Homo-oligomer: A and B are copies of this chain.
Amino acid sequence: MNLTERLAAQPMSNPRADRVKDVAGLAGRSARSKRGLFLAEGPQNAREALARHLESPCVDAVYVTEDALGRHPDIAALLERVAGDRSVFVRLVTREVLAAMSDAVTPQGVVVVCPSLDVAAEEVLAAGPRLVAVLARVQDPGNAGTVLRAADAAGADAVVLTAGSVDVYNPKTVRSTAGSLFHLPVVVGADLPELLRAAREAGCGVLAADGHGDVDLDRLQDASAARAAGAEGVDAVYDLARPTVWLFGNEAQGLSAQEKALADHRVAVPVHGRAESLNVGTAATVCLYASARAQRRGADRP
């Protein structure tokens, strides 16, 4: 059955159907982990999931309203391209069914069901990553998603969540990634000491973002700019152009003393005003962009 036939069929209209309940159930962590599936909601996630699916299968099912198809011709075009693929189940649904499937307060017309995407840490490290963001026990779904999106924007090679972190497949996290979950490899449930041992063997330095850290990020950036400009004998405790794993801590308590001790340096993002600290999304953005800039400059070095 091609897409036209599928979409010509009557839309699913019974919000109490078993399939609807199955999809809605993926809002819960235990159902997700038992079934190895998660929900990606909204046009941005649908677009990125389908685009990735064309390179490497990652979509199980797509439920979409007629309205949403009309509003997003690019998604309709992507659906057309995956329609030949029997492994993807595509169905038109009524607004009521979509609302029943969705976890969002304001459902946005399309819900995609995907198998879990996380990969093993070994796989990420074997690829020789230059920039990796590690979330150590970050609890807030929105924060985790924001860091993932910022890591993607900064061109990071992977994001790692340690054991005890929020579930990266939480619908709120997935929504706040705005599709970035489909852009870069994600590792979950990592043991931090083990991960860092392996990352060092793969040639990475390790920096901890720490408001009370003794190394100032601006100094590292200035040193990196001076080095790139050809200055000799630049003195800095760490070369930001190196392959780097950044550690970001829990939003309430930050990194623990043990977690900080695992890093080569504890780096503070300068706070110029009277704010006591930055939130984890903000701090991660500044740190990852600082590394990305230094690395891109470093790549131009003779």
Contacts and interface: CB of A to CB of B under 8 A. Distances in A.
Interface of A: 44, 142, 146, 149-156, 176, 178-180, 183-184, 218, 221-222, 225-226, 229, 269, 271-279, 281-282, 285-286, 289, 292-293, 296
A281 B142 CA distance: 12
B184 A273 contact: yes
26 contacts: A44-B276, A149-B279, A150-B278, A152-B273, A152-B275, A153-B273, A153-B282, A154-B272, A155-B272, A155-B273, A176-B279, A178-B279, A180-B273, A180-B274, A183-B273, A218-B293, A222-B225, A226-B229, A272-B292, A278-B285, A281-B281, A281-B282, A282-B282, A285-B285, A286-B286, A286-B289
A289 B271 CA distance: 10
Given A154-B272, A178-B276, A149 B282 contact: yes
A225 to B, nearest CB: 5
Contacts of A289: 286
A282 B146 contact: yes
Q: How many copies does the complex hold?
A: 2
Q: Taking chain A's interface residues, is the majority helix, strand, or loop, or is none over half, making it mixed?
A: helix
Contacts of A154: 272-273
Nearest to A183: B274
Given A178-B279, A286-B289, A153 B184 contact: no
Nearest to A297: B222
A149 B278 contact: yes
Q: Which 7 A-B pairs have the closest CB atoms?
A: A155-B272, A152-B275, A153-B275, A183-B274, A152-B273, A155-B273, A282-B285
Contacts of A222: 225
Contact of A285 (B184, B226, B274, B286): B286
A274 B153 CA distance: 6
A101 B276 CA distance: 26
Contacts of A151: 273
